[in-house]
Structure 1
């Protein structure tokens, strides 16, 4: 953040996109695999967001008009399409989606918008994803639309970063020509009791 302000005089946009994979099934995952993914993805997002937020808060408190944007990178794995072998990655990405919503609520008062994308595209990480690498690596006939090209993602990032974009607190899945707004956990069915639950009641009604 300090380097950006020093080089450009101000900070208007933060894009968090660092990531690694350390895939393993839960029973075989060691602590270092868990910690590495959480550190790079979730803590990495939180660290840059913390310092950028502090900068924008100070700017706003000093009477300056702030019109800033944060774009975080979540994933289908942490939202609507969990993948076996990616407990660490899915947990980190789900945390990023939640962090996005919290930060959007906190930073709106300072003129900062916070959104996230959950991209599906061909990258070194996705090519290494078990069971999906072949799909991403499939050759696209010349002249046909490449639904997994990383360039399909950038227009959404550019729009969310734009000064005239008013969106905040949104998480968008984006693949090829499709952009889908994602909604978080929500109630589906509710059961009620007039008194304390018993396990027998729950066995019958859940």
Structure 2
């Protein structure tokens, strides 16, 4: 018996890297998987060759699992809706949505073009939102019809979204938005029987091989802490029925580490009870900062 026996899962961006690892891991636990991948390059440009999604489907079916390929663009509103419908048509329903698809257009802010900003925001942030919206609408319909729903959404944020990353202003903004959207989704969809969580993974993929290169080297022997497969066990568990009491959380995952991320929270405050004069705020702000926790350093900013 697998942990996901009978459950239907969509994994976006599942043609390689972490998404592929997710799809294979879900299938190994008995899930029926819709393997979504648009088949583009790292920057979102068209890529030639065969279907990355179909290749993963072939791996799953060869191992005795059930899967279908899908090439929808998650950043396209109607195609995102069609991806949800494809799961229903192929397997009779949908239980788990794993939002993983993404691209990068790395550039310092002063050099980033409007197109580079829009492309990254579209795939990561709009792509997550469009998929959440259409999946949420599907599950809300079931709930209102009196049918039991025990569904899951697992989003993909990033350490860049939690702390920022030099040269990735567009990507960091998108991933920070994903983390905030996860909290909103959890608050809104719980009434329909849906939990919403996110992961911030660290692993060796196409999107990380040019960033933090010193961390990406594969060891000659022993435990490969940066292998994409290390991220998937938590995602599989979050997609299972065992996780129904966990929602609105962001987990950092790296190697054998699972960490609960703690985001923005109210810190020290000063209340004058009246309007402040700008001239008196310097001392006030200094006092507040002396009592607060120092921020985590931005990735790539140095000491």
Normalising by the residue count of structure 2, what TM-score does the alignment of the two structures yield? 0.65
Counterparts in 2 of 1:1-206, with a 5 A limit?
1-79=84-162, 81-129=163-211, 132-136=212-216, 138-142=217-221, 144-166=222-244, 167-206=246-285
| 8 A Cα contact 2:200 2:253, kept in partner | yes
**Structure 2: which 5+ runs fail to align?**
1-83, 286-303
SS in 1 for 2:215: helix
Q: Distance in 2 between matches of 1:139 and 1:160?
A: 27
Q: Distance in 2 between matches of 1:66 and 1:112?
A: 7
- Alignment size in residue pairs: 201
SS in 1 for 2:110: helix
| 8 A Cα contact 2:218 2:224, kept in partner | no
Normalising by the residue count of structure 1, what TM-score does the alignment of the two structures yield? 0.95
Q: Distance in 2 between matches of 1:182 and 1:134?
A: 24
Q: Distance in 2 between matches of 1:71 and 1:64?
A: 22
Per the TM alignment, residue 58 of structure 1 is displaced from its structure 2 partner at its CA by: 0.2
Per the TM alignment, residue 172 of structure 1 is displaced from its structure 2 partner at its CA by: 0.1
Q: Distance in 1 between matches of 2:248 and 2:282?
A: 38
SS in 2 for 1:45: helix
Per the TM alignment, residue 139 of structure 1 is displaced from its structure 2 partner at its CA by: 3.3
Q: Distance in 1 between matches of 2:190 and 2:268?
A: 32
Q: Which has the higher contact order (CA 8 A, sep 6+)?
A: 1
Per the TM alignment, residue 204 of structure 1 is displaced from its structure 2 partner at its CA by: 2.1
